[in-house]
Amino acid sequence: MDSLTLMALSVITASTPLLLAATGELVTEKAGVLNLGVEGMMIVGAVCAFAATVTSGSPALGILVGAAAGGAMALIFGFLTLTMLANQVATGLALTIFGIGLSSLIGKSYVGVAVDPLAKLSIPGLTDIPVIGPVFFGQDVLVYLSFAALAGVAFFLTRTRGGLVLRAVGDSHDAAHAIGYSVTAIRYLATLFGGVMAGLGGAYLSLAYTPLWAENMTAGRGWIALALVVFATWRPFRLLLGAYLFGGITILQLHAQSAGWGVPSQIMSMLPYLATILVLVVISGNRAKIRLNAPACLGKVFHPAQ
């Protein structure tokens, strides 16, 4: 029973940063913006959250700073692509490279420093229930925030007028502009939300998953978050399945190494990324379904003068 509980907790810990970042990217892409800089936003959020926590001693402030850092990176992307009309793919890749370099610079003096992990919730009588208690009533605040954010995004996109407007901008920015909606402003807000969520995902990595700073600690999770949006076919609750599937694969390779399976550790470390490629290959085989669910204007530049 203890082993089962430990594995469940490990899967949740590995899946939470993916779910946070993918939820933000889903909203961004629903508005028609393709931001490939998730990895860069996550790692800058991670180092800024860690630095703020070490400096102030307050994990809450660290979380806020991490979210703000991710949002600031997203605004840089928004200015270049939405105001200056730069290519979104090239800008996103540049943002990732910039974020990796900037995080190394900021985190240089924090290498080897450790902090206490985020405090877990403890509810007397509930947290002590075997398996169920620690899994459902003993998580930190960012785990619960990831679920709340996903539910909020699902409700916003499907049940509110604002969500309808955002989806309209992603499906036909010219039509949305023609009836009076500010396409650029809506896309700025969606991009900012995506950056904040990516920053929170990065903050979770440095404050809860491995409460220390190490260069390139995101290790490709931003790219996996991007793949999860496609895996979920731009539907919110499928992100939950995808994030926990990939989180489970990550934990599987760790447990396999500790159990001494006769498989090279390098191959086991490749499993999450091999699974990502395999899923994308399988999904891309159904092009009609992708076209049906993908925002029609995804990655397309909007010219306000038109």
Residue 202: how many CA atoms within 13 Å on its side-chain side?
Answer: 45
pLDDT tens digits, one per residue of 127-159: 878 778 888 888 999 999 999 999 999 999 999
Please say whether the beta carbons of 127 and 121 come within 8 A: yes
Please say whether the beta carbons of 49 and 259 come within 8 A: no
The structure tokens listed for 221 are 């999770």
87 alpha carbon, distance to own chain's centre: 22
Which pLDDT belongs to residue 258?
Answer: 65
CATH 1.10.10 fits 2-293, yes or no: no
Which alpha helices (DSSP H) does 113-140 contain, by range?
Answer: 132-137
Which pLDDT belongs to residue 195?
Answer: 98
Which pLDDT belongs to residue 71?
Answer: 98
Domain regions of the chain by residue span: 2-293
Q: Which percentage of the chain shows pLDDT scores above 70? A: 92
Which alpha helices (DSSP H) does 126-264 contain, by range?
Answer: 132-137, 141-159, 161-171, 173-178, 183-204, 221-231, 236-259
pLDDT tens digits, one per residue of 178-206: 999 999 999 999 999 999 999 999 999 99
Please say whether the beta carbons of 156 and 23 come within 8 A: no
R_g of the chain computed on alpha carbons = 19
Which pLDDT belongs to residue 70?
Answer: 98
207: which DSSP letter?
Answer: I
Question: Nearest-CA neighbor of 143 among 14, 294, 4?
Answer: 14
Which pLDDT belongs to residue 125?
Answer: 77
Q: What is the pTM of this model?
A: 0.92
Which pLDDT belongs to residue 89?
Answer: 95
Which pLDDT belongs to residue 192?
Answer: 98
Identity of residue 245:
L
3-state secondary structure of 111: strand
Which pLDDT belongs to residue 306?
Answer: 52
Distances (CA, A) of 227 to 137, 166, 183: 30, 21, 25
The strand pairing partners of 114, in sequence order, are 212
Output 94-99 pairs: Cβ under 8 A, ≥24 positions apart.
94/37, 95/35, 95/36, 95/37, 95/40, 95/41, 96/36, 96/37, 96/38, 96/39, 96/40, 96/222, 97/40, 98/40, 99/37, 99/39, 99/40, 99/41, 99/42, 99/43, 99/44, 99/73
Which pLDDT belongs to residue 112?
Answer: 85
Helices (H) and strands (E) in the chain, counts: 13, 0
Low-confidence ranges of the chain (pLDDT < 70): 1, 254-263, 265, 268, 283-292, 305-306
